[in-house]
């Protein structure tokens, strides 16, 4: 007989000799959205001057995901004030952005939205990137920026697993 387990079940010794069960386990998946159109959420006060950037902290964390950056360009990774008084994150050629999640988890998908997130702008060492979306299994995920990125949001999806080997 098959019964759905919708509550705790008590078995009485001597009454039941065998219990067979099946359990369908779905890995818990988590999604975190970094919204750079609202920099105050990360403690960042943007410049009041139009077309001027404010460098973001070296690391920004949300929901178990940490973004760190190393800027090798003169412009730095920053929050940019646009002419319509909205904001975006900008990263430049030769900057490096690293995403980490808790130990035992891997990043499965990274999605970028914004005005400028071209396919050629990111060089991941694990997984693949196309059409503003990276997929694979990595922790950490290191992105080497090969152009200018103007981003509104970065969505990170992660769950339990192991990292793929790095590409040669």
65: which residues sit within 8 A by CB, 6+ positions away? 32, 34, 99, 100, 101, 107, 156, 158
Cα angle 161-97-50, degrees, rounded to a multiple of 5: 135
Entry pTM: 0.80
- Cβ count within 10 A of residue 68: 17
Tell me the average pLDDT of the chain: 87
pLDDT value, residue 25:
62
pLDDT, tens only, 148-167 = 889 999 999 999 988 988 87
């Amino acid at each position: 007989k098959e019964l759905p387990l919708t509550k705790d079940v008590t078995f009485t010794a001597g009454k039941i000799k065998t219990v067979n069960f099946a359990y369908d386990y779905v890995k818990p998946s988590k999604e975190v959205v970094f919204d750079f159109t609202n920099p105050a959420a990360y403690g960042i006060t943007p410049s009041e001057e139009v077309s001027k950037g404010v460098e973001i902290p070296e690391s920004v964390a949300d929901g178990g995901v940490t973004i760190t950056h190393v800027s090798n360009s003169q412009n730095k990774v920053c929050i940019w004030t646009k002419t319509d008084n909205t904001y975006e994150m900008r990263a430049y050629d030769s900057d490096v952005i690293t995403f980490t999640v808790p130990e035992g988890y891997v990043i499965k998908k990274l999605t970028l939205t914004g005005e400028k997130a071209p396919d050629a702008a990111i060089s991941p060492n694990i997984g693949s990137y196309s059409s503003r979306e990276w997929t694979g299994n990595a922790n950490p995920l290191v992105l080497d920026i090969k152009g200018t990125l103007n981003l509104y949001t970065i969505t990170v999806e992660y769950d339990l697993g192991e990292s793929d080997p790095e590409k040669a």
